Each structure stands twice: as structure tokens, then as C-alpha cells.
Chain A
Amino acid sequence: MSIKVSDLRYVYNPGMPGETVALDDVSFEICDGQICGIIGHTGSGKSTLLQHLNGLLKPVSGDVYVDGQCITDGSTKLVEVRRKVGLVFQYPEYQLFEETVAKDVAFGPKNLGLKDEELDATVREAIELVGLDYEQVKDASPFELSGGMKRRAAIAGVIAMKPSVLILDEPTAGLDPKAHREILAMIRRIHEEMGCIIIFVSHNMGDIASMCDKVLVINKGKIELEGTPQEVYSEKAKLEEIGLDVPPIREIINKINAATELNSDALTAEEAAEDIKNYIQCRK
């Protein structure tokens, strides 16, 4: 499984006042089992890009390949694409609509034609995978749950379709620290158990650094930087120029590097602790 985008271009309101180029010759490839982070400030084209990956938007030019198959040539069945590529929108809890959580989660698989026991098993699996107690929530109204639980129920609705690529648009936006941690743990768990490609957008540089194998930096509809978190976050000046930043840990490490002979490129708290420990031991 892989996802490949070549020379993607998209324009909002073509020929109308307010015509804007949202994506400008975007190309990249994400390989099997990778977690890919997308960063970019508001209005940079991230969400537009995500909607191309499962065929919700049609590019003006360029192609998207899912698993080697071109989904933009018009011959591919979009329902099939949407099964393979699950997209969780920003604030997905606003799309909940059924009487019970179980029914809501079942909406996607039902649309794919699943029935009876198979459907129930899929729903249970999805609810448990997002870290909710199936017996406790299955008959509850999705509107009675807490904010973090609602969001997880909504995400369960997408992973119940067993996608091979899971895309999440700012999955932690507006959550408290506890719910935030739970969502990140949930993403890791889904990745381990389903082995799917995960693409997620976040404004939290620390999350991106600790979760991702690959990072795409988007600015004004173009890919500005692409690489491992290590490669991307060593371009501090460039990131700041386009309104982004390095993770807070890296910021501290940079300051310590400048003040001492520590020469660390840590991005996460664990890496930083390790490097500082080694440094102190070496000096003894």
C-alpha cells in the first residue's frame, strides 16, 4: 500500500472573484506503514490536499495514486477509494447523527454493504480500537458523551470501514491535555493493529516530532519542505519564516547547545533526556 500524488493543482472559484490557487504542483509519496505528518499554517492548503486523497475534490490537473491505482482518471469507483482511504475531518464529532454510538459507527460499514454479525463485529472492533468501552457506549446517545469521547466515537465511524490509509485533520484540536494524550495513544494503537498508513495534520510540532516517520511542510499550496522530522526541524529559520516553529523541546535543546558543549539534535523529551544524561556522564 502506498499513496502517491503527482503535480496536483487545485483552484477555488475558477474564473470568479476570489479565485485562489489552493494547491500548486504538489508531489509526494507515502510508503507502506508510514506515519506522515502535514504541517502548515491556516489556509496553506492542507485540508484541500487531504480531500483530494479520497476523491472528494477533483484536481484541476495532476494525479493521485492509491495503491498504484490512479483515482483521478474518472474510471475508479469512488466508494471503493473511500473505503481504502478513511478521512476524519476536523471536529469530526459534528458529523455524529444516530441515536446510539453503535448505530453511528455502523453507518460507514453499512454503506459498504456489511450486514448482521459481520457488521456488529466490525462496529465492536472499531469502538474498542479507539479506546471506548463497547458495552458502556453502544446504546448511549453520541450527544451524551464528553468532548474527547465524542471525537473518538466519530473516529471509530471511519476506522470501522477498515481503511488502509487513515487521514486525520487536526485530530487533537480543542481537546484538553488528557483527551489529547488519549487521541495520540489511539493513533499509535490503530497504526500498530491495522498497519495502515496514517496521515495527520497538526499544529502541535511536538506531536509531529514524536509520532511521524515523514513530515510534509505546506506553504501557500506548495510543498516547502519534505523529509524526516529530524531533517525538517533542522530548518528552523525557514519554518519560522512561514509561520511555523520547531518543537518546544528542540527550542530548549538549541539554547542549551549554544550555552554548553552539548551537541544534541533531540526533538522529544526522551531523546533530550538521553543526550543530556550522556553529556553529563562524559564530563565527569
Chain B
Amino acid sequence: MIRDITLGQYYPGKSAIHRLDARTKIIGTLAFIIELFVVNNFWGFLVAVVALFTVIGISKVPVKFIFRGLTAVFLIIAFTFIINMFLVEGKVLWHWGIFTITYEGLKRASFMAVRLILLIIGSSMLTLCTKPIELTDGLEKLLKPFSKIGVPSHEIALMMTIALRFIPTLMEETDKIIKAQEARGADFDSGNIIQRAKSLIPILIPLFISSFRIAQELALAMEARCYHGGAGRTRMNEIHFGRGDAWAAVCMVLFLGVIIASRFMGAAI
């Protein structure tokens, strides 16, 4: 169950998307996320879906693999959908006690759900197609100009590298602890909400302790290898923009144009 979360995972490949400069992909993803909020009707989402699936197609990441990651956040999407469905006022479709479903509510709810799904798939495409190390290198380079005004670009990039690097480790650790407590007869799936929350304690405490242990060991290992921050540090693989990145930039601008145009194609929701 916990293994099914693909958020932040890397899917090894050699596709054109994989080969793009990490900076292009970071900017592209950021732009995509912002554009999702520019969209104000379903036409815009249609364009975004087509664009996203084109990218997925080129990247050769199996659609099944991407959607498996989505099941983990299904609860959040369902929650947003239900809240929107009941709370938006308008033409009443169904009414029972304090619950009212309106036409506008339903429309808004599905609109938000689509936006969330696109948001999650879009951002997971970034990590699926970019090695974590490239991702943070790219981020560090992008933030470099801001270091003049005191933004610690190297430190931010390092924190991100570490966070990404330890997602699978902590997942594995959680999985192991859950199994160990299950072997001692722990039951996580029954009882009321308070009992369920309580049943998480035997997982959370060992997990906390493990993360502190891992952090301590990592810090020691870094010191042992003379880590002293970003100043004067060089890289084995410098990243460069290539021809692919130029094409990607063209596509992004085109996409932005179409998205803005889509605002005028239908009524806003």
C-alpha cells in the first residue's frame, strides 16, 4: 500500500523528455502549474490534457505507473470534490436535510478535481523523468542569481536532494515498522477514528527515531568526506542547454498562447 506512492519517484529512461536540461523541465512544470490556474473552463483543460499526454507519450513512462501514484492521493481529490459539491450555491439538483447538491457545485467540483489530477500528474512527470541529482543541480543553477540577495541556493538544493533521496528510504522503513507491529498483532484497519489514530503511535515513534538516526548518520558521513558547503564546489557533470531545450521552449510558449486563448472560448466556471 505504502509502496504504491510514486510521487517523487524516478522512472529510468532515455527519452527526449529525460534528456532535456533539468532547468527546462523545472521551468516547464512551474509554467504548467501556473497555467492550470489561468484556465477557467473545460476547453483549457482539454488542451492541457492533450499536452500532458503528449509529454507522457514521448517520455515512454507507462501510464499505469503514473496512475498508480494517483491512487495514493485519491482521498484528497475525493475530499475536495465532496466539499465543493455540497458548498457551492446555485440551481438545486438534489436536496436532503442539510445536504444540497447544485448544478454549479457539481460543475465546480469536477473542475477542481480535474485541476488537482492534472496538477499531480504534471508535477510527478518532472520527478519521473529527471534524476534527483539533475533536478537539484538544475534548481541550484536556477536559484544562483538570487544568491546575490541572500538566497542560500546551494543549501536549498542540498536540502531538496536529501529530502528526495530519503523518500524511498523512509517508505521502506515505514513498511518495515508496519509489518513488525502487525506481526505483534497490531490492527490498523478497524475501530473508530480515535482508536485508529492511536494505532498509529507504534508506527510514528519508531519512524521518528529512525529518521533522526538516519539524519545523524548522514551528517557524520558528510563531515567525514569534508563537506563544507557550496563555496568553491565544482561538478563532475555540468549541465547545458541543447537543441531539445530550444524546441521545448517553443512548445511552452505555444502552449501558453493556446491556454490564454482558451479563456475566451467558453464561459468561465
- Interface, chain A (partner B; CB < 8 A): 15-17, 51, 54, 56, 79, 82-83, 86-87, 89, 92, 94-97, 107-108, 111-112, 143, 157-158, 161
| Cβ–Cβ contact B206 & A112, under 8 A | no
| Given A83-B185, A97-B201, A111-B187, also A16-B65 (CB < 8 A) | yes
Extra contacts besides A107-B202, A157-B184, A158-B184 (16): CB < 8 Å:
A16-B64, A16-B68, A17-B11, A79-B185, A79-B187, A82-B184, A89-B180, A89-B183, A94-B206, A95-B177, A95-B180, A107-B186, A111-B185, A111-B186, A112-B185, A161-B184
Q: Looking at the complex, which one of A17, A82, A143 makes contact with B209 (CB distance below 8 Å)?
A: A143
The reply to whether A15 and B64 contact each other, CB–CB distance below 8 Å, is yes
**Residue of A at shortest CB range from B65?**
A16
Contact A56 B179, beta carbon cutoff 8 Å = yes
Expressed in whole angstroms, the minimum distance between the Cβ of B244 and any Cβ of chain A is 24
B206 touches A82 (CB 8 A): no
Min CB gap B183→A, angstroms: 4
Interface size on B, residues (CB 8 A): 23
From residue B134, how far is it (CB to closest CB) to chain A in Å?
19
- B181 at interface, CB cutoff 8 A: yes
Whether a CB of chain A sits under 8 angstroms from the CB of B12 is yes
Which B residues touch A96, using CB under 8 A? 206
CA A107 to CA B12, docked complex, whole Å: 42
Interchain nearest-CB distance for B60 vs A (Å): 11
Inter-chain contact B183/A82, CB cutoff 8 Å: yes
Select B185's contact among A15, A82, A95, beta carbons within 8 Å: A82
Out of B176, B183, B201, name the residue touching A158 (CB < 8 Å). B183
Residues of B within 8 A of A86 (CB): 183
B217 contacts chain A at the CB level, 8 A cutoff: no
Could you list which residues of chain B lie within 8 angstroms of chain A, going by C-beta atoms? 11-12, 62, 64-65, 68, 176-177, 179-187, 201-202, 205-206, 209-210
- Sample 20 A-B pairs with CB under 8 A, ordered by A number: A16-B62, A16-B64, A51-B179, A82-B182, A82-B183, A83-B185, A86-B183, A89-B180, A94-B177, A94-B209, A95-B177, A95-B184, A95-B206, A96-B206, A97-B201, A107-B202, A108-B184, A112-B185, A157-B184, A158-B184
Q: A94: which B residues are within 8 A, CB to CB? A: 176-177, 180, 206, 209-210
Q: How far is the CA of A54 from the CA of B185 in the complex (A)?
A: 11
Find the A residue at minimum CB distance from B202: A97
B-side binding surface: helix, strand, loop or mixed?
helix
CA distance in complex: A83, B186 (Å): 11
Contacts of A95 in B (CB 8 A): 177, 180-181, 184, 202, 206
**CA A51 to CA B209, docked complex, whole Å:** 24
- A56–B11 alpha-carbon span in the complex (Å): 28
Alpha-carbon distance between A92 and B202 when the two chains are bound, in angstroms: 13
Closest Cβ of chain A to B151, distance in Å, is 37
Q: How far is the CA of A109 from the CA of B11 in the complex (A)?
A: 43
Cα distance, A16 to B180, chains bound together (Å):
26
Q: Cβ of B183 and Cβ of A87 under 8 Å apart?
A: yes
Once the chains bind, are A56 and B183 in contact (CB under 8 Å)? yes
Please give, as numbers and ranges, the residues of chain B lying within 8 Å of A107 by CB-CB distance. 181, 184, 186, 202
Separation in Å of the A99 CB from the closest CB of chain B? 10
Of B65, B179, B185, B186, which is in contact with the most chain A CB atoms at under 10 Å from its CB?
Answer: B185
Choose one: B12, B177, B179, B185; the contact of A108 (CB below 8 Å).
B185
B166 to chain A, nearest CB (A): 16
Q: Which residues of B contact A108 (CB under 8 A)?
A: 184-185
Closest 3 CB pairs of A and B: A111-B185, A97-B205, A108-B184
Q: Which residues on A sit within 8 Å (CB–CB) of B209?
A: 94, 143
- Write out the residue numbers on chain A whose beta carbons fall within 8 Å of the beta carbon of B65: 16-17
Take A15-B64, A89-B176, A111-B187 as given contacts and tell me if A97 and B182 are in contact as well, using a CB distance cutoff of 8 Å.
no
Cα distance A139–B103 when bound, in Å? 61
For the complex, what is the distance from the CA of A95 to the CA of B174, rounded to whole Å? Answer: 10
Complex: A54 Cα to B187 Cα, angstroms: 14
Interfacial chain B residues near A15, Cβ < 8 Å: 64
Give complex CA distance A82, B179 in Å: 11
CB B243 to nearest CB in A, in angstroms, measures 28
CA distance A83 to B133 in the complex (A): 45
The distance from the CB of B77 to the nearest CB of chain A, in whole angstroms, is 22
- Min C-beta distance of A84 to chain B, whole Å: 11
Distance between A240 CB and nearest chain B CB, rounded to angstroms? 31
Shortest Cβ distance from residue B92 to the other chain A in the assembled complex, whole angstroms:
45
Max count, chain A CB within 10 A of own CB: residue among B177, B179, B184, B187: B184
Contacts of B185 in A (CB 8 A): 79, 82-83, 108, 111-112, 161
Interface pair A92/B205, CB less than 8 Å apart: no
Distance (Å) between the CB of B62 and the closest chain A CB? 8
A89 to B178, CA, bound (A): 11
Q: Which of B12, B179, B183, B184 has a CB less than 8 Å from the CB of A17? A: B12
B14 to chain A: closest CB distance in Å?
13
- Select from chain B the residue with minimum beta-carbon distance to A91: B176
* Minimum CB–CB distance for A33 against chain B, Å: 22
